[in-house]
């Protein structure tokens, strides 16, 4: 099969298209013929080596974290899926590789594809929707009537998180550039702040939840807009000791994670709010719940551009540029 391979870590490295052996299908795996895959900033960060301490992948590595396709083979113990099922997934860490014609994924990480979506739309969903779900539903326990600040409302996670928060019944504030203000309001945001001309810290007060995806300065400002007892969940760092424990990292990395987040955690404690770091995980059961919301019309995908498979490097470059509105997708079939 054809697949895009990373040979070594490095910011200047590109993905290389090669013919490689088909994946081995284990007893709990389904073999998926890839129709579409989407590109995430995580793909770039792994290629650059930013996560090699906590995700030490062996090279060469097939990249890619989102897939939509058809099951063409099942392992001996697979019980929830059959050949011919149309599915989508975010493969588990250490089992990624969606920039390929085929991928084997544990059935626990797979869900049936939303019926109303195209292959490209379906591929755009798993990683960002699971991130939004795990941040807002699982960690924040967001409730109807609460106020949530979702940064970067026109980004991949932001576009889905806004819709999920509105489904829950929360009041949503977000940031975006001047050109996207009306567009983000149309997604459902109640308060849209133009980060080019406005400072959200002077506008927002007494928020229950913040979903942080930006830099340290933005994170620290976000802590100050929370009400006492409020929660800030960050998907851009710094990692905290709870994350190190969840990932079962060795004691040296636990110490490092503690030091990296010590300043932010001290500031959060002083303000009477909670800080936590989220590195999303694959979860087929949660993805099935998201499928139901999509088919019911509560969440809609936002796809910016679709690239042909052979232009996967160009798609990754476009994501790295930060210009995408929503998601960037690769069409394999």
Query: What per-residue confidence (pLDDT) applies to 36?
Result: 98
Query: For 159-197, what is each residue's pLDDT tens digit?
Result: 999 999 999 999 999 999 999 999 999 999 999 999 999
Alpha carbons 112 and 89: distance in angstroms, whole number = 9
Question: Is 110's pLDDT higher than 90?
Answer: yes
Mean pLDDT of the residues in the chain:
96
Model confidence at 251: pLDDT above 90 = no
Which residues of the chain does CATH 3.40.50.720 include?
127-277
Range 92-100 average pLDDT = 97
Share of the chain above pLDDT 90, in %: 92
- Please report which confidence band the pLDDT of residue 248 belongs to, taking 50, 70 and 90 as the band edges: confident
Mean pLDDT is lowest, of 174-183, 238-247, 283-292, for 238-247
| Range list for CATH 3.90.180.10 in the chain | 2-125+301-331
Average pLDDT over residues 59-79: 98
Q: What is the mean pLDDT of residues 304-316?
A: 98
CATH class (in words) of the domain with range 127-277: alpha beta
121 torsion bin: left (phi>0), alpha (psi -120 to 50), beta (else):
alpha
What's the average model confidence in pLDDT over 255-263? 92
pLDDT at 263 over 90: yes
Tokens representing residue 135 in the block: 């941040």
Q: What is the CATH number of domain 2-125+301-331?
A: 3.90.180.10
Q: What pLDDT score was predicted for residue 250? A: 86
Write out the DSSP string of 232-293.
EEESSS---HHHHHHTT--HHHHHHHHHHHHHHHHHHHHHT-EEEE------HHHHHHHHHH
Question: Does pLDDT of 53 surpass 90?
Answer: no
Residue 184, pLDDT score: 97
Residue 301's pLDDT band (boundaries 50, 70, 90)?
A: very high
Peptide bond into 238 cis (omega under 30): yes
- Is beta strand 303-308 parallel, antiparallel or unpaired with respect to 327-331? parallel
**Pairing mode of beta strands 327-331, 29-39:** antiparallel
């Amino acid at each position: 099969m054809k697949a895009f391979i990373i040979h070594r870590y490095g910011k200047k490295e590109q993905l290389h298209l090669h013919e490689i052996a088909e994946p081995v299908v284990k007893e709990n795996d389904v073999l998926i013929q890839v129709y579409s895959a989407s590109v995430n900033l995580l793909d770039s960060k792994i290629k650059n080596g930013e996560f090699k301490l906590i995700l030490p992948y062996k090279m060469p590595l097939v990249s890619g974290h989102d897939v939509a396709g058809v099951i063409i083979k099942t392992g001996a113990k697979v019980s929830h899926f059959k050949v011919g099922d149309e599915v989508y997934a975010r493969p588990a860490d250490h089992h990624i590789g969606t920039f390929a014609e085929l991928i084997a994924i544990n059935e626990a990480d797979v869900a049936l594809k939303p019926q109303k979506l195209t292959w490209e739309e379906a591929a755009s969903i798993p990683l960002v929707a699971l991130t939004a779900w795990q941040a807002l539903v699982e960690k924040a326990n967001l409730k109807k009537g609460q106020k949530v600040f979702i940064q970067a409302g026109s980004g991949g996670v932001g576009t889905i998180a806004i819709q999920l928060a509105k489904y829950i019944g929360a009041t949503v504030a977000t940031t975006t550039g001047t050109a996207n203000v009306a567009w983000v309001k149309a997604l459902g945001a109640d308060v849209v702040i133009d980060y080019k001309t406005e400072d959200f810290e002077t506008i927002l007060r007494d928020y229950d939840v913040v979903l942080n995806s930006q830099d340290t300065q933005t994170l620290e400002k976000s802590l100050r807009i929370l009400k006492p007892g409020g929660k800030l969940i960050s998907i851009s760092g710094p990692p905290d000791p709870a994350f190190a424990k969840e990932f079962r990292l060795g004691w040296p990395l636990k110490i490092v994670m503690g030091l990296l987040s010590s300043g932010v955690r001290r500031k959060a404690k002083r303000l009477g709010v909670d800080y936590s770091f989220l590195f999303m995980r694959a979860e087929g059961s949660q993805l099935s719940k998201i499928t139901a919301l999509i088919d019911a019309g509560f969440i809609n995908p936002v796809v910016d551009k679709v690239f042909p498979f052979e232009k996967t490097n160009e798609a990754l470059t476009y994501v790295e540029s930060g210009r995408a509105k929503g998601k960037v997708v690769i069409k394999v079939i």
